[in-house]
A and B are shown apart, each in its own frame.
Chain A
């Protein structure tokens, strides 16, 4: 309960605190959430059961039972912890961006977003899940509208309409499967007996919603434009957290609810994920805007995660969880790097950059570490995640494994190209001040997490494994 309430209260209070204290207030608020998350994680004993709180309320005239049912298992808790840490990082990395970080509206919206995200990860009730899922759209929409770059209106409409239609498809699935079950609680929905055709309807609805949000090829067209036009904090929220909602949704809702449809859908999703991996990586190589490069890189990485989740081997699922965590941190790092350049120089065009490493060695160093994590160098968590994912996909079908494995090479190409063009070469004659303490600290935290998980991923794996095993069990039983 307090997990959900803390960000909500902080969002409300943010409206009334004095202007000067906003930035400090934001960091303190985020830290409180992190501490609450850590306390829950320390007290948590890994098991396959949900620690749930059920409060039943019957509706009018004995019609539709409606439950406030929330709680977590290892997977949910991991996502909660991830959300809290990433929100803290987003606020920290924006600390020097006066126009955004000192705005009450911004801080309130970020906390509100955190509230919605935690709701998504904690809901054990279909309707509640959907409500939080939609709620998360509002703050990101407003951040985008109020702080976005020029020409945002088109991108904004595209983003909102895409995701909203996707969500409606999910609403269809939820109420459709609800007609086979006594209530919306996840246990009842999982226990519902579907025919193959109705399972396809349910699965398809979820799939559209999640494919848009992840985004999977060919539902990705909103993403690069949105990422590029939105303010850095918005990009981080989208890239590091919102798309994880969809990946989490696949594990928690889509697969266990309608596994009857898996036999026809697995192949499709693996192929779409694989196509996205290669296609987006190739596009990323050709981009000149640094943020667009990372936007396409993001499509490429999450395509791999989605493909890994759907093949449903324990290895791939574990890898997916590790990679979800890793990708969140790396995305924050990469978008922060792009934004640092943007803040200092006013543009992010790779062709006009160069020689930054001479002027800002600290920045160059940390940026390099993040890039290494992004291309899955051993000893970073990216390596663990991608290795397990590709191993799982290889086990499903070796051809797909090999093809998707090329991501390792392509990622090197676009990442190092972006790094090389911006950091090395002759200086183009501009001043580039080095990192401030807040930026440094953000990079430092990202690096610590990424390296720690790369060296010792076992505690994360222990946490998520019972839940993942239960998922495989559910699918096998059905």
Chain B
């Protein structure tokens, strides 16, 4: 609880400090606040008793703390790497950072909720700032399109979710997830209302995480939104949505596993194929990232299809590794800063700026799952855990990793190529800021040595 309060105050303070029009002050205050939140969470880990612990809406258990910490790390990285872009609009620096932190607040509620009501609030707090942020590039029609599209489809999904919650309430008579679980365990006959509700809630989740066939918004939104917001959506929003997803389905709906598992199996496979096959043809970098993120959602869904004791942890580790790679790539995209965001604009990056090129290559290979990078261990944990129960699904997932290598490798080759002799594409300057270099350094260290996380207990 303390962590949430600190976080909320940080967001408010950030907004008000914005009046001073001192971007650096805003930045340092917000980062400080986020670090404080992290510290509070770590205290919570060691001393679970906490004031206001009698409140039953949220519960900071180990699961929530792990997910929240990662979300905080990612948010700090994104604020740091996107600072250059935020700063370019002096009036709004604090607004951007404040909104991101509010959104993070929602994400943390979504991984710690105890009843459907808090869950819904968390989802809205998570989403609404993103609707605004996606349109932050006001002079760019693509950005407005992205914002509008995300808002309309997102609002629709929220409506469906609410509807589902209502049906579920009608069937079980409670909002609390443990009571719902209890109800399903004891009920002699489960009313069909519950199944309908579950399906509605499932679709809303699939929309939020961008799984096929609810993925159509994500390439457009990723493409149009400002780069830091894209990174935030890929890393933090997904983390929050997945956290809530696995929590709700492994607790509240655990008894209905046989009902939703086949649907999810099919959708996981569909999502992997849609993401990977569409990514092959992309020429714009952020669209490539969007489709690759769809594919990664497919791999992550495997943890839910095959539930074991380690599912939540595997999912956590996977999203952790995925987030670092994505943030690194988004930062590189900001450095390349091509107006039309073509992949070809990355040509010569390896020569012009070896460090940035190196990080980009490592991040792409990490997404592709090349050992010994962190991305490999993420995939490995998921696959190794699930293979005993469903070898065919893992075979499909590995086949998809094979398809994936095609477009990651193509981008790697572009980055390592000599700068183009053809004048069709003017050479970017690859300007970096010190903050971005710090972010890239942190990400590359994590990707190279993150596998070591498995070795410590």
Q: Which of A27-35, A172-180, A237-245, A323-331 lies at the interface with chain B?
A: A172-180
Size of the A side of the interface (Cβ < 8 Å), in residues, is 34
Q: What is the minimal beta-carbon distance from B133 to any residue of chain A, in angstroms?
A: 34
Q: With A and B bound together, what is the CA distance between A137 and B365 in angstroms?
A: 12
Known contacts A66-B454, A175-B380; A157 and B410 CB within 8 A of each other: yes
Name the 4 nearest CB pairs between A and B, nearest first: A179-B388, A165-B402, A131-B371, A175-B384
What are 13 A-B contacts defined by CB distance under 8 Å? A58-B457, A60-B457, A61-B313, A127-B380, A131-B372, A157-B413, A164-B370, A165-B402, A168-B401, A168-B402, A169-B398, A172-B387, A179-B384
> Contact partner of A175 among B309, B394, B409, B456, CB < 8 A?
B394
List 8 extra interface pairs beyond A58-B457, A171-B398, A179-B387, CB under 8 A: A61-B313, A63-B310, A63-B385, A135-B372, A157-B410, A168-B402, A175-B380, A175-B387
Number of B residues, CB within 8 Å of A? 34
Question: Considering the chains assembled together, what is the distance between the CA atoms of A66 and B457 in angstroms?
Answer: 12
Chain B contacts for A127, CB-based, 8 A: 380
Contact A157 B399 (CB under 8 A): no
A458 near B: Cβ within 8 Å?
no
In the assembled complex, A134 has its CB within 8 A of some CB on chain B: yes
Return the chain A residue nearest B381 by Cβ: A64
Asked if B217 lies at the interface with its beta carbon under 8 angstroms from chain A, I say no
In the complex formed, the residue of A with least CB distance to B310 is A63
Query: Which residues of B (219-235) have their CB < 8 Å from a CB of A?
Result: none
Give A177's nearest chain B residue, CB to CB: B387
Complex Cα spacing A131 to B383, Å = 15
Residue of A127, A138, A156, A171 with most chain B CB atoms under a 10 A cut-off = A171
> Contact at A172–B394, with CB atoms within 8 Å?
yes
Bound together, the chains give a CA A135 to CA B448 distance in angstroms of 13
Binding site for B on A (CB under 8 A): 57-61, 63-64, 66, 127, 130-131, 134-135, 137-138, 142, 145-146, 153, 156-157, 160-161, 164-165, 168-169, 171-172, 175-176, 178-179, 201
Q: In the complex, A179→B391 CA distance in Å? A: 10
Beta-carbon contact of A61 and B310 below 8 Å: yes
* Chain B positions 364 through 408: 1 when the CB is less than 8 Å from some CB of chain A, otherwise 0: 010000111000100011011101100100110011011001100
Q: Is the CB of B455 within 8 A of A66?
A: yes
The reply on B425 being an interface residue by CB < 8 A is: no
Known: A131-B372, A134-B370. A60 touches B453 (CB 8 A): yes
Min C-beta distance of B313 to chain A, whole Å: 6
The residue in chain B whose Cβ has the minimal distance to the Cβ of A61 is B313
A281 to B278, CA, bound (A): 41
Residues in B whose Cβ lies below 8 Å from that of A130: 371
A156 close to B391 (CB less than 8 A): no
For A138, the chain B residues whose CB sits under 8 A away are 365, 370
- Asked if B406 and A59 sit within 8 Å, CB to CB, the answer is no
Task: Say how far B67's CB is from chain A's closest CB, in angstroms.
Answer: 15
Shortest B282–chain A CB gap in Å is 16
B111 at the interface (CB under 8 A from A): no
Within the complex, which residue of B385, B398, B409, B454 is in contact with A172, where a contact is CB–CB below 8 Å?
B398
Q: Does B444 contact A (CB under 8 A)?
A: no
Q: In the complex, are the beta carbons of A60 and B313 less than 8 A apart?
A: yes
B454 touches A59 (CB 8 A): yes
Cβ contacts under 8 Å, B454 to chain A: 59-60, 64, 66
- Asked if B416 is at the interface of the complex by the 8 Å CB criterion, the answer is yes
Contact of B405 among A61, A66, A161, A179 (CB under 8 A): A161
